Amino acid sequence: MAAIANITTGEQTKTTTGAITGSLDTSAKSGDYTVKARFKLDSGQKAVVALEDTANVTPFSDAVQVAIFHVVGGQPADGSYHERKNYDIPGTRFGVTNSALRLNVLSISGGTLTAFGWLEQ
């Protein structure tokens, strides 16, 4: 069974753009991994969420978008699942001092986005 580490601090809600609460320290991680996320959004709404990484002592002042997730509300009703394997996001800085991952809402057309992100390794 894969080890699971949360990126977000549990399930979080957002109604505006900006970072979703929580981040995952990846400075001691290496090898194969899969980043997974589940998003729920009110029907008829749309959002764009970035997976970002950092390797700076001031977290995310050097944020790099390594993946983008497009979310459409109400499809399916229990939320949409997204995943990226390590070979899908080769620029992610794992095993580097101060490295971490987070989710960041880049745009949201309205409603409430519920997000949960984790890493399986």
Asked whether the predicted pLDDT for residue 75 surpasses 80, the reply is: no
61: left (phi over 0), alpha (psi -120 to 50) or beta: alpha
Q: Span 48-65, mean pLDDT?
A: 96
Burial class (CB in 10 A: 0-12, 13-18, 19+), 6: middle
Mean pLDDT rounded to a whole number for the chain: 94
State the pLDDT at residue 94.
92
3-state secondary structure 15-56: CCCEECCCCEECCCCCCCCEEEEEEEECCCCEEEEEEEEEEC
CA angle (115 as vertex; 112, 119 as ends), nearest 5: 170
Structural domains for the chain: 4-120 (2.60.120.680)
Q: Span 47-74, mean pLDDT?
A: 96
Convert the pLDDT of each residue in 9-19 to its tens digit. 999 999 999 99
Distances (CA, A) of 121 to 26, 29, 30, 42, 112: 12, 9, 9, 31, 30
State the pLDDT at residue 1.
55
Asked whether the predicted pLDDT for residue 66 surpasses 90, the reply is: yes
Q: Span 82-98, mean pLDDT?
A: 94
Q: Span 47-66, mean pLDDT?
A: 96
